[in-house]
Structures are given as C-alpha cells and as structure tokens.
Amino acid sequence: MNPQDIAIAVLTVLVVGTLVWGTSGPRHRGVHNLLLAVAVLCPLVSFDLTQSSAIPPEVWVFSGAYFLGQASNAAFHYIWPKAVHARSGEAIMQVTFAIWAMGIRVGLEPSLWYRGTVGTVLFCVSTIWVTLVVLCSIYQGELTSHARDDFDFFKLPLRSRGNAAILTCSPPTLLLALYVALQNPWLIAGALGSWVTLRAVLRPAEAK
C-alpha cells in the first residue's frame, strides 16, 4: 500500500477522533496537540510526493509555517493556561493560514495534488476547515474571554454556548472548505443554509 494512502487513513481517524474526544470533556490543550499531528500529516495526504521536485517552494514554506503556527497556539495554552483566547495570536494566525491555503489551492498545478480531488479535499479540510471551525466556534460561543472552549456533549446541554457553537459552526465551515476544494457554488449556499438552520435549532440561552 502507498504510504500516502496510510497517511490518509491515519488523518481520517485523527480528525474524527479529535472531534469526538475534544467535544466530550475539557480537553482544549489536548485538542491543540492533535491539531499538531494534523499539520504534520497535511502535506503527506495533499500533494503527490512522487513529484516533490515540481512542487513550488511556497507549498513547503506553508506546510512548515502551518505546523509552527499550530505549535505556537498549543504552547500558548501550556505557558499561560489561564489566559483567555483573545490574548493569544491564534486569531490572526488562523485567518492567515485559511487565506494562504486558499491561494495554494487555486494556484497549484492540478497534477500535483495527490490523487487529484482526494488530495485537494484533504488539504482544504485539514487547513481551511480546521482554522475556520476554531475561529467560528470561539466567536459564536462568545468564548474570546475564556481560557477554555467549554465543549462537553456528555455533561452539558447541547444548547449550552460551547456545544451549540461547535455544532452550529462545524457543518458550514466544512462546506466552505469543500467549496474552495471543489469550486461548486452550491456549497456556499449549503454553508449559509446550514448555519441558518442550525443556529435556529441550537440557539443557546442568553448568558447571564
């Protein structure tokens, strides 16, 4: 089996596992550790490494910077565990990597993506979706002044601010990432429609 296919299987398990594990208890720092692993696997599942010499230097710079960015986000929470989200550099870094990834998706020669659409989708999911869902969930859950994310499907109601935020923001941001990968405008409509629907169903009680 191609090592890149093994990396795809590992990434799939890792992303699903991160979602389940990270939303079943106060594991914010642990989730950041898992996102580091996602950053490591990203180039292995995205690009055709048999043509590595043809891959532009910017792609490798991005891959290294993405890992270092996720590492700095994780380090912030370990060094200052009680500091609120808004005090870190996470917001600007997540935005930067989302936009940078979009540029790479559009500009990279199609033949350099691993298995074509497969590599393109995995790249956008492991970069654009990861960064957007983090930003949107923190913003939607009014968690910029918190040190944790307050996601816990087992102990808190689904309509708590944290749980409602991650449930509301995950599908729309995934569809936005898929739009970048597949260039299908219906995915934009799906993102907006899913957000409106989920926001209406999962509207949390106002904070006291």
Please state the rounded mean pLDDT for residues 56-67. 97
Burial class (CB in 10 A: 0-12, 13-18, 19+), 17: exposed
User: Has residue 208 been placed in a domain?
Assistant: no
Report whether pLDDT(76) > 60.
yes
Residue 82, φ and ψ in degrees, nearest 5: -100, 0
Q: Which amino acid is at 138?
A: I
Q: 133-165, pLDDT tens digit by residue? A: 988 888 887 777 666 677 777 787 878 888 888
pLDDT of 65 > 90? The answer is yes
d(CA 36, CA 85): 18
User: If you search the block for the tokens 């990203």, which residue do you land on?
Assistant: 42
Q: Which pLDDT score is estimated for 207? A: 44
Q: Which domain holds residue 27?
A: 3-201
Q: Name residues whose C-beta falls within 8 Å of residue 5's C-beta, 6 or more positions apart in sequence.
A: none
For residue 41, the SS3 value is helix
Instruction: Answer yes or no: is pLDDT of 208 > 50.
Output: no
Six-digit token pair at 141?
Answer: 């859950």
Answer yes or no: is pLDDT of 84 > 60.
Answer: yes
pTM of model > 0.85:
yes
Query: Mind listing the pLDDT tens digit for each residue in 160-199?
Result: 888 888 899 999 999 999 999 999 999 999 999 999 999 8
109 within a domain of the structure (yes/no): yes
Q: Is residue 176 part of a domain?
A: yes
- Helix 28-46 / helix 117-124 crossing angle, nearest 10 deg: 160
Q: Domain tally for the chain? A: 1
- DSSP state for residue 185 in the 8-state scheme: T
What is the secondary structure of 190-208 as a DSSP string? Answer: HHHHHHHHHHHHSPPPPP-
